[in-house]
Amino acid sequence: MAIALSTDMVSVKLVVPVDDDFPVLGGKTLRLNCGITLRHEAGEPVVAVRGVSIGGVPIPDAWLGNIKNVDLVREFGGQGGFWDLFSKGVEDIKVLDGSLFVKLRE
């Protein structure tokens, strides 16, 4: 796994070996890439999936449940679930080139 941090963006690269018994892809190694927007805006954290690709091929938004470029905190917060708890626990969050700053609420 490799993580790259740039302004308001977290990029994750994974190399995943697939079990030999898995249909079609068995015994192969997959390269997964994911980009996530991460920042604090108007007193709330913003978390949005920018894109996901497998082996360099972008995964369609429909296959991701139409969550691409959707602020997950705004969309799913306020329902008492994970994103609601996440937003209540984060006072500030910043991603800069090579740095991640998270200030938790007390």
Q: What is the DSSP letter of 92?
A: E
Please write the tens of the pLDDT for every residue from 42-77: 989 999 999 999 999 999 999 999 999 999 999 998
pTM: 0.84
Please write the tens of the pLDDT for every residue from 2-46: 999 999 999 999 999 999 999 988 999 999 999 999 999 998 999
Task: Give domain limits for the chain.
Answer: 2-104
DSSP letters of 39-79?
Answer: EEETTEEEEEEEEEEETTEEPPGGGGTS-BT--HHHHHTTS
Q: What string of H, E and C letters represents the secondary structure of 20-47?
A: CCCCCCCCCEEEEEEEEEEEEECCEEEE
Q: Which pair of structure tokens corresponds to residue 6? A: 């740039």
